[in-house]
Structure 1
């Protein structure tokens, strides 16, 4: 092999590495933005927002941003998804699920919801893939599911031993929302709807809730909390955890491929605990850390193909 061939090979490797690096950066940025969304929810509830207030911040701004895209693709049939399927997806993966999830943070700390919800989404996804979609579940994924259950038991033990019945109720809320999101993912696969199209449609459909909010709740309560706090929620919920994270994750999937990009959401629980500690002053307990480490091991096994 001469020097010219070696130089060409090095250039090819460099060109291949650049898209992969961009995919990793975009994926980690998306995970960080989702973590900031979790932390923003916890902070918002502390300063006086209700779960419904946060829901409006989460979907109104992103709905406005996505409306031109849905209108261009065809709002009559919701980008080809259809109104019936679109409404079902909105319940399982949109504002209904988010409202229930926000309520959970009234009962348990950040370290519970940010770990339990994605963990149960993974468990529910594996279960529905096997039962409904008739997919083969490998031994590695089954082992990963069992390890995740073990991690959830560790976190649940903290609720039982230190928080009480409210903690158990809060944990169960995140179990429910995790399984709701798993159902959302299973329907996407069964109906062959792209995640990006579904996200666009859900956010735009959620604009229908704004008139109901204005008529029943009004703006006096959120206005009294102040411009700064509302701006924080608009940024955290409506921009970072919404369109920004969605776009960055889509770029990550394009650059890394579906299999490798699927590992990215597993980073969210750890990043959420870190963000909660640094920004909200909520250091994770030893049981939360132990549960998180166990769950991450389960995520690793569940993502393996063998």
Structure 2
């Protein structure tokens, strides 16, 4: 195998991992919007997303012992769980109670990409090229379009929903930066987040939320959320995204969430029949253009 092939292979694998993670997140957004509409609470959806795969991944997290927790430790593990686990997910799910699907599928990944570029430059000392800076500015322009639509057609609570998605994107950007900074392998990250979701979040959910909404809804609706949230949008994208961070760097990997809006729009139309507004399409196009400059 020549040197060029050896260099290209990690880039290809990292790119495929990033695209796969984006597809999983997009499917999760659509399923979450559906779940909120049929009666799940944000906490219920977060439980389905992290508890079941957490049960499967807990042995991996404990193979180094309870104290070491997957070789990462409880301190870093708790930080990663807050940034990429149930807390981060509930921010997004609550946002879906306030704004349309297109806002969530665009604002959160766009903010993750934007904040990821900034953090990669400030924390990891990755070079911010003029093209990436321009892309970030264009992404901000696309986000402004969504904000204007919220203010004009939804009102103050629409802006609140948009800000929840922006906060969720910031959490994810910090998570991606810390993965690179701490050099945490993807599977370890997914295992620790899953284990702590079982040990910490599940008991809190039982005490403060309960299972009334989950038991009231049909088995089919619960299985849908378990499969889509738990597998396609839960542990698998965390692993894939972490791999892309390691292979490509946090700056490049942070741009993959910007693929989610397009995927989410297509999946939302096919699965739920959701037709985005003109403003959402315009905002999406601007964000995608910004993403194009970011990845140059």
TM-score bracket relative to the smaller structure: 0.7 to 0.9
Q: Partner of 2:291 in structure 1?
A: 299
1:175-190 matches, cutoff 5 A = 175-190=166-181
Bigger radius of gyration among the two: 1
Going from structure 1 to structure 2, the CA distance change for 1:297 and 1:182 (only over 3 Å counts) comes to same
Cα shift readout 1:97-154 (whole Å, capped 9, x = no counterpart): 1111111111001100111111111111222233333433111111110010011111
Q: Partner of 2:187 in structure 1?
A: 196
| Rounded Cα–Cα distance in structure 2 between residues aligned with 1:261 and 1:174 | 19
Going from structure 1 to structure 2, the CA distance change for 1:191 and 1:263 (only over 3 Å counts) comes to closer
Contact 2:26–2:263 (CA under 8 A) maintained in structure 1 = yes
Deviation at 1:23, TM superposition (A): 7.5
Going from structure 1 to structure 2, the CA distance change for 1:103 and 1:66 (only over 3 Å counts) comes to same
Going from structure 1 to structure 2, the CA distance change for 1:48 and 1:287 (only over 3 Å counts) comes to same
TM-score under structure 2 normalisation?
A: 0.87
The range that moved more, 116-125 or 23-32, is 23-32
Cα shift readout 1:71-118 (whole Å, capped 9, x = no counterpart): 224442122212111111211222111111111111001100111111
Q: Does 1:148 align with 2:139?
A: yes
Contact 1:262–1:303 (CA under 8 A) maintained in structure 2 = no
Number of equivalent positions: 292
Q: Partner of 2:94 in structure 1?
A: 103
1:1-306 matches, cutoff 5 A = 28-207=19-198, 208-246=200-238, 257-258=247-248, 264-304=256-296
| Rounded Cα–Cα distance in structure 2 between residues aligned with 1:266 and 1:242 | 18
Matched position secondary structure for 1:284: coil
Is there any run of 5+ residues in structure 1 with no aligned partner, and where?
Answer: 1-12
Displaced runs of 4 or more, over 4 A:
16-29, 246-254, 259-264
Deviation at 1:18, TM superposition (A): 10
TM-score under structure 1 normalisation?
A: 0.84
| Rounded Cα–Cα distance in structure 2 between residues aligned with 1:280 and 1:133 | 40
Going from structure 1 to structure 2, the CA distance change for 1:177 and 1:247 (only over 3 Å counts) comes to closer
